Amino acid sequence: MGALRSHDDTWDIASSVGTTAVMVAAARAVETDADAPLISDPYAKLLVSGAGTGVWEMLLDDTTEAKLAAVDPETAAIFHRMRGYQAVRTRFFDAYFRQAAAAGIRQVVILASGLDSRAYRLDWPAGTVVYEIDQPKVLDYKTTTLTEAGVSPAAERRAVACDLRQDWPAALTAAGFDAATPTAWLAEGLLMYLPADAQDRLFAQITELSAPGSRIAAETAAHQPEERREQMRLRFRSAAEKMGMPTPVDFADLTYNDPDRAELAGWLDGHGWTATARSSKAEMQELGRWIDSPLDDPGADAFSQFVTAVR
């Protein structure tokens, strides 16, 4: 378990796991403003600018990467690759939802939705209902920020304020979810924050709620040797100190690096789904967003898979 985590911890958008949603939104904002963007998220910058987390707002500064390169070129390369990863990941799951909608699915559930803006920015067919499940303060921040800016959802959006370690199926059902209707589920940027047994329980619950024809997409949690995690922790902390930046969020203290975690595609295949796994590294290479680094550990499974499945 990460040092900053407990089995009953909570957070808002400026603390603990909540801050990682700001990081992801910042990466989407930077990509949106790039010369040849892979994605378009017109609301990402708005969501980041009011979050009050300090370090992630600096991602919006065009000079940040150049400053980092001046003190540690290898860390700057990894930083650049991390931003590219977020863009590629977002693009992949945007396409997943478009395909699900084209197949006639009109019920969507985004698990641990954070600052995900797909309910607002994707072109949803008429009659689509998007359920977003997350901590109450995280959902409140997003809803309030976008409403005050005059932004309305592009589908019927229903916020379900519930921790996924609690009885979220009951909360989802109370919000109007219909288990007899095919659903498109998304678990993006989530599984690394769950221990192995909680991951199994989550997908068992999803399976129970999924009618035939349902789909699921997820980003798997990669595993790294603890020595490697510590090395990267110290490197990023040193670079931040040299740049005079706030201490960066320590992902090693927020995530579960569980070696016993089930291989997701295989788990789904064994529980009534037909799954396909796509290497995130291969996806990045295909889209020209991969950067090799001498800091990479060739023996470590350091990158995730993008898994999709149909029931």
**Mean pLDDT value across the chain:** 86
Q: What percent of the chain clears pLDDT 90, i.e. is strictly above it?
A: 59
Contact present, 112 and 187 (Cβ < 8 Å): yes
pLDDT at 146: 97
- Residue pointed to by tokens 């990509």: 31
CATH code where residue 62 lies: 3.40.50.150
Containing 215, the helix (H) or strand (E) segment is strand 215-219
Do the domain assignments include residue 156?
Answer: yes
pLDDT at 17: 57
Look at 196-200, 213-217, 234-238 and tell me which has the smallest mean pLDDT: 234-238
Do the domain assignments include residue 299?
Answer: no
Do the domain assignments include residue 298?
Answer: no
**Amino acid in position 1:** M
pLDDT in tens, 56-86: 666 666 677 777 778 877 777 777 888 899 9
Q: In what order do the strands lie in the sheet with 305-310?
A: 156-161, 129-134, 107-111, 183-187, 215-219, 305-310, 274-279
Contact present, 64 and 58 (Cβ < 8 Å): yes
Q: Which domain holds residue 66?
A: 16-292+304-310
- Residue pointed to by tokens 């892979």: 38
For residue 254, what are the contacts with CB-CB under 8 A and spacing of at least 6? 2, 4, 5, 16, 17, 20, 193
Do the domain assignments include residue 9?
Answer: no
- Residue pointed to by tokens 């788990």: 267
